[in-house]
A = this chain, B = another copy of it.
């Protein structure tokens, strides 16, 4: 499939495939977002499983259709488990999504990422601009888990990282940029700034990418589908919340409702997808 044929209708078909197949997505993720991530996958129509013991991650990968690794609250035993799971997933040929939370914030975090990348290349990397720039080896100031840079600033880093890893790289932010090793590049312009005020929305984006990549073998397209869907879900959820004078607490719930219930015509009408030449 060429880039030209990827449109809102095609991405919606990927969503329908997720719902039909209900892929089991194995996440080794951070302690803050586990509950929200699991609920996001369930609302989408996928099936979450979380397990992080070195003693069982290989077997759990063995029954999963995708693996998602997120280093948000890492510690040594978890990194060991992630390496085992990553290697097992590559061996089985299931997609692996890496979310390098806080890359660049501490030397330990950078060392952990280097170790992970030695254990195997992820299929897809999703992070904010600071994280992607840090992972691509650029000197960048990371401020906790927020980004100090805009996503457009990180596109060159993303392209270089994509080539180096042979992976799809997604830089999320006000615009989301999705690039791959062959040079494909698309930009999504949905979403709303309030989405950054619910913890775990970025991490959930990575989890949703796992679900789409489990059913759509073109990892670049799968990443676009997940980010596109979450973006439109997010901006419509913010509108519903603001319409009733509510805030970011309610947004958390509306996001989950939207992941389950967004209508196809709204998705197709609102999607702002730009495929670059």
A260 interface residue (CB < 8 Å to B):
yes
Instruction: Give 1 or 0 for each of A194-226: 1 = CB within 8 Å of chain B CB.
Output: 001111100000000000000000000000000
A114 interface residue (CB < 8 Å to B):
no
Are B60 and A75 in contact, with the CB atoms below 8 A? no
Known contacts A32-B34, A33-B35, A102-B49: A144-B249 contact under CB 8 Å:
no
Are A24 and B143 in contact, with the CB atoms below 8 A? yes
A15, B252: Cα distance in complex, Å:
23
Query: Could you say which residues of chain B place their CB within 8 Å of the CB of A6?
Result: none
A154, B207: Cα distance in complex, Å:
32
Query: Could you say which residues of chain B place their CB within 8 Å of the CB of A196?
Result: 42
Are A108 and B32 in contact, with the CB atoms below 8 A? no
Are B260 and A43 in contact, with the CB atoms below 8 A? no
A256 interface residue (CB < 8 Å to B):
yes
Are B33 and A53 in contact, with the CB atoms below 8 A? no
A35, B199: Cα distance in complex, Å:
7
| Interface hits, A103-150 → B, CB 8 Å | 105-109, 143-146
Q: How far is the CB of A42 from chain B (nearest CB, A)?
A: 5
Q: How far is the CB of A43 from chain B (nearest CB, A)?
A: 5
Are B32 and A107 in contact, with the CB atoms below 8 A? no
| A27 and chain B: residue at smallest CB distance | B32
Would you give 19 A-B contacts (Cβ < 8 Å), ordered by A? A24-B143, A26-B144, A32-B50, A35-B200, A38-B200, A39-B199, A42-B248, A43-B249, A49-B144, A51-B106, A56-B105, A60-B144, A63-B143, A63-B144, A246-B261, A247-B259, A249-B252, A249-B259, A250-B256
